[in-house]
Amino acid sequence: MTVMDYCAALRSADAPPDAIVITFDGDHAETFVAARELAERGLAATVFVTTSRLGTPGMLSEGDVRRLHEMGVEIGAAGHSGRRLDGLQRSDVTAEITLSRRRLAAITGDEPRSFAYPRGGWDPTARQLVIAAGYGGACAIGQALSHQGDDPFAITRLTVDGGLADHRVRAWLDGIGRTLPRTVPARPRTRLVSSVLGARVPARAPARLAGAYRPRFAPHIAEGTRLPAPGQPTLPPL
């Protein structure tokens, strides 16, 4: 499924238990080759684009993005400069979100509906501004399996890179892993660090939403536990 297909399923409370969403957070030229091969095999994918990097050496070009869109690959935005949004002023967050959306709309002819928080950095303000900008869903990272109670504007994902063992990918595809409760990070608190004069270091602690989704397993359950089928009783962790 594309990100927006999955968001629609989450909102309908009918997300298939075996849904797979393939996303690319990267603008390197090889992303075009990988996404094209998926499209040729009939596999849906979403490519998130950082628009300031388009056309620079080794990166996707506007023509690449246009061709991927024509192949049916979902094109999502990942901000304009690639800076984390949780450390920016509100006006800068708005600029990152809207500039990338406008440029991608000019390239493809369609406004992107999905967004990926650059480098996974988000907070309640960034989330609300993404919604206000007209996006229909957004991806965080989380390093956990998504689930029916996931937040459509902070979907948790697992990172797959060149160093990941094949058996771990197969386990994830079989639904083996951990889930996280639905959370929204608390607003950053700052403190002065004496060793670096004037440096301000954010201290963040996720806060659970009221009435939040309760995962089938504890957030830190070990790898190797299989998600139960719908309706199947669960056992407490050993």
- CATH code of the domain in which 34 resides: 3.20.20.370
Q: Give the span between the Cα atoms of 135 and 93, in whole angstroms.
A: 14
235 part of a folded domain: no
pLDDT interval class at 76 (50, 70, 90) = very high
Residue 142 CA: distances (Å) to CA of 68, 81, 212 = 27, 22, 16
User: What pLDDT shows up at residue 17?
Assistant: 78
Total count of residues recorded for the chain = 238
Cβ neighbours of 46 (radius 10 Å): 26
Instruction: Find the domain containing 185 and state its range.
Output: 3-208
Report yes or no on 200 lying in a domain.
yes
The chain-wide mean pLDDT, for the chain, equals: 80
pLDDT at residue number 39: 94
CA distance 196 to 183: 32
Alpha-carbon distance of 213 to 234, in angstroms, equals 16
- Is 218 a domain residue? no
CB 223 within 8 A of CB 204: no
Which residue matches tokens 């002065």? 192
Q: Does residue 219 belong to any structural domain of this protein? A: no
Q: Is residue 14 part of a domain?
A: yes
d(CA 224, CA 227): 10
Per-residue pLDDT, 16: 82
Residue 115 has pLDDT above 80, yes or no: yes
**Which of the two residues, 134 and 200, has the higher pLDDT score?**
134
Question: What value does the mean pLDDT take over residues 109-123?
Answer: 95
In a domain, 107, yes or no: yes
Summarize pLDDT for 181-220 with one digit per residue, the tens.
665 555 554 444 433 334 333 434 333 333 333 333 333 3
pTM: 0.75
Per-residue model confidence (pLDDT) at position 87: 86
Among all chains, which residue has been given the structure tokens 């939040």?
212
Cα–Cα distance for residue pair 80/64, rounded to 1 Å: 17
At residue 46, what are phi and psi to the nearest 5 degrees? -125, 130
Q: Is there a domain that residue 122 lies in?
A: yes
Residue 122 pLDDT exceeds 80 = yes
Q: How confident is the model at residue 148 (pLDDT cuts 50, 70, 90)?
A: confident
Q: Total domain count for the chain?
A: 1
The tens digit of pLDDT for each residue in 27-66 reads: 899 999 999 999 999 999 999 999 999 999 999 999 999 9
Residue scoring higher pLDDT (206 or 123): 123
Q: What is the pLDDT of residue 132?
A: 95
- Residue 140 domain-assigned? yes
More confident position, 97 or 230 = 97
pLDDT band of 227, cuts 50, 70, 90: very low
